[in-house]
Every structure is written in C-alpha cells, then in structure tokens.
Structure 1
C-alpha cells in the first residue's frame, strides 16, 4: 500500500493515512523527548536541594507545581526524573532490540537454531512478565544497572518473533539463494542481505519497546528495586507521594504521573503508527 494521499479523498479519509499519522505522532513524541533531555541539564544549581522552610507548599509563582515534604521543587524534580527515565528507557530498549535482532537473525542459521530460538521465545512469552522483571532486578541488586538488564531481558520476545518471521521470509528469496550458491556464508548473508531489510521493523520495534521500558522502570523504582533512591526517579516520587496524598498534597503525584503518561502515550501512538506503516498492506487500512 502506497503512503501517498489522494487529494480527492474527503478530509477524514486523508487523516487516516498511516504515513501522515506516523509523522504527526513522531513529531509530538520527539518534541517531548527533546524538551525533556534539553531542559533537564539547564536546571539551576540547587533546584533539587532540600529546603525545609518550603515544605509541602501548594503551587505558587515560586514553585509552579508546589514542593514535597522535604521542600524540593516538584517541577524541577519531575523534569530531572523524566530525563533519567528517558535515558534508562533508551538504553534498555536499545539493548532489548539488539537481543531481538540477534535472535531473529540466528533463527536463519539452520533448523536447529530456528528451533532453539522458537523455544526461547515461547518460553519467555509464557512467563509472568512483571514477576520476571522483579526477579531479574532483584538478582542484579537493583539500581540503574539492574533496571536496564531486567527490561532488556524481558522485552525482546515479541520483537524477536517478528524479526524471525521477516528474516526467514527474506532468507528464501532468490538473491539470497544466489549468494549462498556463490559460497557466501550464513553470517555474510545475515549482515548484507537480512539486516538491511529489517531496519524498518527494528526502528518500529525499538519505539514500541521504549514506552514499556520507562513504565517498567517506574514500576521497579516504585517498589524499591529500580533507580537508586538518591537519584530523581518517577517511581520513587510516586512511592513517596502515597503518604502525602493522604495529607491532601495532591500536586506531589500529579506532575510526575502526568509527565510519564504523556511521554509513554506519545511514543506508544508513534510506535503503533510506525508498526502499521511498516506492516503488510492490510494492517494500514
């Protein structure tokens, strides 16, 4: 299905065009990501420091989103926490995507390799997702490294299944058969024929994994197995806000929760639009 838009179509039909939708969602998602990553380093010195004279202040001109029970500015802390979540999410999603691509390509190295990759994928899909996340993070001792490893080792199966299917389809093409007949190794074929054709699926898969990565990072931090407590973290802020909400300090949870939701939702919609765009024609109608 071509991505071109027929100008004779009514406006609602034109708005449903997958290429237009992917571009729109991509601009929004990348704008949010860029704003967070660029603004966080510009926070003034001392913006995250404790100020006991400003404890639990509601939103005012000096503190647009209020302060927490230690007098820390919620706006500055939320921005720093989102930047940290984005960094962890990008690293974890990249590692998980790499695992999926390697296993997807490995499945083309013979029937035995395909069987092993298939069994590993189905086994990983059959395990309780968040329970596995907790177990891996706990085994790694928590912290940023534990979060990255846990997310990377639990988010690859669905993308690996897609990579495996696509790679096997390409491996049966005529030009791959010609390369094999000319004596090219399976590794050469994977590097020069399979991997380049999988780039659209790799990009779409990475963008789909990213929002799940930052949400699960927040979940692990919420239960104490995520980012170190002394670092700004959305999960830690949400955990600390439980006591403050009971005291009527609603603003403590509102900003971090909304910020995380906006970034996750923007990339979720962007990834879904890209997945429809790079999928079979029927998926984009």
Structure 2
C-alpha cells in the first residue's frame, strides 16, 4: 500500500460517523441521571415531611392578618381567614403526594397482576384482559374517576381508590409485552426443560426482568394521579373542604381572584406544577438508567 493510499484511508476513517460512544463518555450521563433522580426524590420527600409538620399551622386562622399580599412574613400571602398560604400549599401538596403514592402503588400492582394473567394464562385470559384494557382506555379518565369517587363517598379513600382503578391500562400493556418477550427467551425454555414449575420460573426469571419497567411505570403514574386528584377535588368530587389540598385551595381561590387576591391561585398552582415536574424528572431519570438504548442519550 502506497503512502498516498494509506493517508486516504486514514482520512476516510477519521471522517466516518461514530457508531458507538465510548463507555467513558456515557458514564457521566448515567451519573447525571442518577443524581437528578435522587435530588428530585429528596425534594419530594422534603415537601411531604414539611407539609405534615405544618398541617396545624395551615389550619390556624388570624383575621387580623387576612388578605395580606406576599411579604417576608408571609411569602405566599394570606387568605380571607388569615391562614398562611405557604403552610396551606405545603400541606396540600403533602396530601396530594400521599394520595398519588397510594393510588399509583395500587394501580401498578393491578397492572402487574393483569399483565401476568394475560401473558402467562390461557388465550381466554389474554382476550379478557385486552378487552378490559380497551374498555377502560375508551372511557375518559376524569368521568370514570368522578363516578367512582362519588360512589365511594368521596374523601381520601374514595379519591385514592378511584385513581387506582382508572390508571392501570397503559402500564398493563407495557408489562404484558415485557412478560411475553421474557417468556420467549431461551433461558426460560431451558428452565422449563430442567423441570422448574411455572411459579418458580416466574419468580426467578420474569419478575427480575420486568421489575425495572414496573418501577419506572409506577413512578410515572404519580404525576397523573396527582393532577387527577387535584382536578376532581377542584370540581367538588374529591377531598372534603376541611382537608388542605391543592384542588380545594384553587377552588376556593376562584371567588377571590376578581378582588385582586391573585396569590391565592398563582403560588399553589405553580407549586403543583413543580411537584408534577419533579415526579416526571424522577421517572425519566429512572427510565434512562434502566433502558440501555436511552442510557447513551
């Protein structure tokens, strides 16, 4: 090979597109995703703890300090009863997060059970689960959620059960596909030939396989649960008025916006959006950590 040909080959190789990113370059992105997930989870935990501790202060009234604009003494202002809006907002966020946590866990477990029944059971079970998923996804979430919450007497448990019974279809489809993919793997067939029963195969092979997707789906259900809880509470079909919740705070503030008390709605609404974004950041970071294709982004 001549020197001219060798130089041309080297130049062509240097201009060729890079098909894979070295591990040393991918590692910082994974560390950044892990840091973002931990930091967002820590902030959410701090909001919940602060809301639980400030719940008595959120109910305290002081008519001498009613309708005060945001200041150093009251960063979020006060309402028409002199209640500190920062304390009320944190207490409301804590309630919403607890409702979303309980509903998301229950809904994820429902999705896992139905997905396992559809993927591992007979064809009739798969057809029944698929029909049920299509039926649930064909009904608007908010309408079904209002009906269930109203039938159960509203309140904390009515809202939690309503959200749990309406948010499992999408995750069921994802987990069913993951279990079917694991079921067709060679090591699962080898375990069956070695005499392991279905329960042992499911516990030793399929559960670890679908666990990352299950955890990510569980976390990503939180934002939907929190927003829907706030929505039906705002409409009057959710939590009772005496309980501090973002939906109640926003609903009550509607009657005072025309009087110029803008802080009654702006700060609680912005705080709700911030919490939803934090949950979304946790879920997206976990997805990047467990998904090998997105870990290179």
- State the TM-score, normalized to the length of structure 1: 0.88
CA contact (8 A) 2:52 2:94 kept: no
Partner of 2:68: 57
Aligned to 1:191: 203
Residues 54-94 of structure 1 deviation map (CA, whole Å, 9 limit, x = unaligned): 21111223222111111111011111111111111111110
* TM-align CA RMSD: 2.5
In structure 2, how many angstroms separate the alpha carbons of the residues matched to 1:113 and 1:24? 41
Rounded to whole Å, the distance in 2 between the matches of 1:90 and 1:67 is: 29
Q: Deviations over 1:71-118 (max 9, x none)?
A: 111011111111111111111110011111111111112222222211
Residues 184, 115 of structure 1: alpha-carbon distance in 2 compared, 3 angstrom cutoff? farther
Residue in structure 2 matching 1:30, options 35, 41, 44: 41
The structure-2 alpha-carbon separation of the partners of 1:46 and 1:280, relative to structure 1 and needing over 3 Å to count, comes to closer
Distance 1:131 1:213 in 2: 14
1:152-199 Cα shifts (integer Å, max 9, x gaps): 111111111010000011112223223333444433332232112111
Within the candidate set 113, 117, 120, 2:132 is matched to: 120
Q: Confirm or deny that 1:66 pairs with 2:77.
A: yes
**Higher alpha-carbon Rg:** 2
Residue in structure 1 matching 2:111, options 96, 100, 108: 100
- TM-score when scaled to structure 2? 0.85
* Aligned-residue offset at 1:225: 1.3
SS at match of 1:141: coil
Q: CA deviation at 1:24?
A: 4.1
Aligned CA distance change for structure 1 residues 2 and 278 (closer, same or farther; 3 Å): farther
Bigger mean CA deviation after superposition, 35-44 or 196-205 = 35-44
1:215 aligns with 2:227: yes
Question: Helix, strand or coil: the match of 1:281?
Answer: coil
The gaps in structure 2 that reach 5 residues or longer are 1-18
Q: CA deviation at 1:5?
A: 4.8
Which deviates the most, 157-166 or 35-44?
35-44
For structure 1, list consecutive stretches of 5 or more residues without a partner in the other structure: none
